């Protein structure tokens, strides 16, 4: 990276029509990491060091995003300041997580529980940064990019986050005074099994780079249970077994029970009249699953910008078929939950047989449909009814063929749900999508039979 982009750089960069990033002072005397001196909303500052943030430093406000102005004033004031990054502040945060989140006492906590507490305290600071960044995006309303990828090989999270936030030395000192070594705690983190090759590594680097370059981007993917495999030697032979990386708590993700979308499979199509009087189609019947979001903050290096990787988990619309359970059909009663969980289990299910082809297509459609619905919800909240502005405010980057079904899904939502005509929807769709091609080998280009 260019020489001006270092931890203590005071230079600023300007992205025409997108972001204006004035330099942040090197001392802790600044009133906020955002500047409102021009009276037109806060602007993201260059970071001298994240470690300069203190409990006395005020976080930015966004009055336009306040859904209940005048209410909960005391609560808002209590959330105005950042968590301190001093040695004592970090130690207090660790102790609080050890006892109140992990349920440990001062007599029975271990190195692993100390790692979990440290990870949760880092997540606290990431959430502050992510929330402030999202508030700033909402205020500035730049063109947003959304990156859809079937895999992300992000590696262990904690050390990268501490380095990007520039607080690794602060944590090392705080932990050493408590009798722990940072290097030993790193070994307790599970490698997120969300990808297995160059495609996933590219996606992870893409997010990290965009966060560092202050670009308003979000990533979307699937929260796999077994994205990688574990190698074992049994009877002198190498065997592959599922690597269940979620067996222990993933301390860096943020479950979002409030962000779920219905995704329909099978069923049939009915013709009907839209509320604007035009003829339209409605998808009825079939199977409906819920896609629930899990957010993973991605901090930039040398900046306060923190973007998001949103992963989807498939859930059943109802956990158990109670009628079948009462009739003694216990296995069939749990079928809705089983069919939802199979979409989360494996990266790239074997598609050499009919069941595998169907599973892979269902998996990709759930991820793409939930992502497109989420993108349109955000756009409609800011620009209701202004569909011609969609390509000016939204760009969707498809990483290889796996999310390609997003294209017809956007068309379906624009025509059947929003009431646009075919030509208008197609014009917007062509101007919204971009595609990264990784190979031209026929066996790597996914094809689906029309009847499937």
Per-residue confidence (pLDDT) for residue 69, from 0 to 100: 61
What does the DSSP 8-state code read for residue 246?
G
Which of these, 360, 362, 364, lies nearest to 372 by C-alpha position?
364
Cα–Cα distance, 445 to 77 (Å, whole number): 54
- Average pLDDT on 12-27 reads 34
Is residue 452 in a domain? no
User: Lowest-confidence range among 47-61, 94-108, 169-183, 343-357?
Assistant: 47-61
Q: Is 43 or 32 the better-scoring residue by pLDDT?
A: 43
Residue 59 pLDDT class (50, 70, 90 cuts): low
| pLDDT tens per residue across span 161-195 | 999 999 999 999 999 999 999 999 999 999 999 99
Is residue 201 in a domain? yes
- Quick check: 117 and 111 in contact, CB under 8 A? no
Q: Is 389 or 230 the better-scoring residue by pLDDT?
A: 389
User: Lowest-confidence range among 94-98, 143-147, 316-320?
Assistant: 316-320
Is residue 141 in a domain? yes
- Average pLDDT on 93-122 reads 92
Is residue 6 in a domain? no
| pLDDT tens per residue across span 215-232 | 999 999 999 998 878 888
- Average pLDDT on 382-406 reads 96
- Average pLDDT on 62-76 reads 63
Is residue 39 in a domain? yes
- Residue-range definition of the domain harbouring residue 166: 13-444
Is residue 7 in a domain? no
Cα–Cα distance, 65 to 74 (Å, whole number): 17
* Among 59-63, 191-195, 229-233, 411-415, the range of highest mean pLDDT: 411-415
Cα–Cα distance, 282 to 372 (Å, whole number): 18
Q: Could you tell me the two tokens for 127? A: 């959430």
Number of helices (H), then strands (E), belonging to the chain: the values are 14, 15
User: Lowest-confidence range among 74-83, 168-177, 292-301, 391-400?
Assistant: 74-83
Is residue 355 in a domain? yes
- Is 30 a residue whose pLDDT tops 70? no
Question: Number of folded domains in the chain?
Answer: 1
- Average pLDDT on 284-298 reads 96
- Average pLDDT on 95-115 reads 91
- Residue 89 phi, psi dihedral angles, 5° rounding: -65, -40
Is residue 319 in a domain? yes
- Average pLDDT on 4-12 reads 33
User: Lowest-confidence range among 22-26, 84-88, 209-213, 263-267?
Assistant: 22-26
Residue 423 pLDDT class (50, 70, 90 cuts): very high
- Is 315 a residue whose pLDDT tops 60? yes
- Is 4 a residue whose pLDDT tops 70? no
What CATH number is given to the structural domain containing 305? 3.40.50.2000
3-class DSSP assignment, residue 79:
coil
Q: Which residues pair with 230 in a beta bridge?
A: 241
- Is 64 a residue whose pLDDT tops 70? no
């Amino acid at each position: 990276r260019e020489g001006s982009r270092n931890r203590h750089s005071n230079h600023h960069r300007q992205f025409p029509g997108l972001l204006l990033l004035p330099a942040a002072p090197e001392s802790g005397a600044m009133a906020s990491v955002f500047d409102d001196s021009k009276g037109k909303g806060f602007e993201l500052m260059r970071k001298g060091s994240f470690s300069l943030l203190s409990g006395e430093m005020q976080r930015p406000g966004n009055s336009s995003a306040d859904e209940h102005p005048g209410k909960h004033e005391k609560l808002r004031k209590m959330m105005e300041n950042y968590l301190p990054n001093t040695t004592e502040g970090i130690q207090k945060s660790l102790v609080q997580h050890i006892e109140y989140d992990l349920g440990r006492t001062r007599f029975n906590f271990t190195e692993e529980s100390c790692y979990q507490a440290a990870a949760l305290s880092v997540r606290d600071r990431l959430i502050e940064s992510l929330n402030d960044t999202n508030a700033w995006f909402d205020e500035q309303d730049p063109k947003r990019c959304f990156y859809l990828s079937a895999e992300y090989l992000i590696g262990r999270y904690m050390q990268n986050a501490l380095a990007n936030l520039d607080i690794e030395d602060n944590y090392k000192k705080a932990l050493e005074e408590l009798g722990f070594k940072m290097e030993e705690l790193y070994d307790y983190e599970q490698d997120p099994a969300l990808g297995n090759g160059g495609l996933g590594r590219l996606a992870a680097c893409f997010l990290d780079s965009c966060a560092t370059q202050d670009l308003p981007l979000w990533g979307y993917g699937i929260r796999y249970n077994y994205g990688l495999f574990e190698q074992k030697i049994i009877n002198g032979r190498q065997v592959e077994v599922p690597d269940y990386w979620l067996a222990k708590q993933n301390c860096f993700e943020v479950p979002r029970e409030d962000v779920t979308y219905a995704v329909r499979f099978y069923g049939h199509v009915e013709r009907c009249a839209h509320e604007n009087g035009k003829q339209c189609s409605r998808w009825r019947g079939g199977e409906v699953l819920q896609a629930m979001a899990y957010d993973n903050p991605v901090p930039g290096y040398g900046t306060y910008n923190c973007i998001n990787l949103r992963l989807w988990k498939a859930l059943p619309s109802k956990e158990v078929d109670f009628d079948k359970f009462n009739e003694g059909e216990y296995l069939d009663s749990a079928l809705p939950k089983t069919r939802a969980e199979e979409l989360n289990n494996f990266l790239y299910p074997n598609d050499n047989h009919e069941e595998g082809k169907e599973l892979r297509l269902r998996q990709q459609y759930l991820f793409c449909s939930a992502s497109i619905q989420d993108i349109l919800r955000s756009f409609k909240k800011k620009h209701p009814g202004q569909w011609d502005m969609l390509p000016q405010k939204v760009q969707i980057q498809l990483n290889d063929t796996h999310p390609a079904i997003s294209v017809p899904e956007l068309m379906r939502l624009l025509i059947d749900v929003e009431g646009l005509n075919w030509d208008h929807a197609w014009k917007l769709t062509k101007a919204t999508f971009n595609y990264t091609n990784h190979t031209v080998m026929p066996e790597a280009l996914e094809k689906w039979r029309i009847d499937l």
